[in-house]
Amino acid sequence: MLSNNLLDAMKNEYHKKILQFQNEMLALEQERADLMRKTENQQQKLKLEEVYKKKLKDLEEKVNSAKVKERE
C-alpha cells in the first residue's frame, strides 16, 4: 500500500512536470509569434526561428522524458 501511494505521488509529480513543460511550450510559441510579427528583417526572422526551434525541441524532449518516467 505504501508503495502504491509512492507510485501515485511520483506519477502526479511527473504529470505536473509534463503540464508545466507544455505550458512553457505554449508561452514560447506565443513569444516567437510576437517577435516574428515585430521583426521586419528576413535574416533576423530566420535567426529567431532557429533559436525558438531549438528551445521548443529541448522542451519537447523534456516532455517526452517525463512521459516515459510517468509510465514507468
> Residue 17 pLDDT > 70, yes or no?
yes
29-72: pLDDT as tens digits: 999 999 999 998 999 999 999 999 999 999 999 999 988 888 87
- Residue 15 vs residue 6, higher pLDDT: 15
Q: Which three cell numbers stand for residue 66?
A: 517525463
Q: Rounded to two decimals, what is the model's pTM?
A: 0.75
pLDDT-based confidence at residue 6 (cuts at 50, 70, 90): confident
Q: Which pLDDT score, from 0 to 100, does residue 54 have?
A: 95
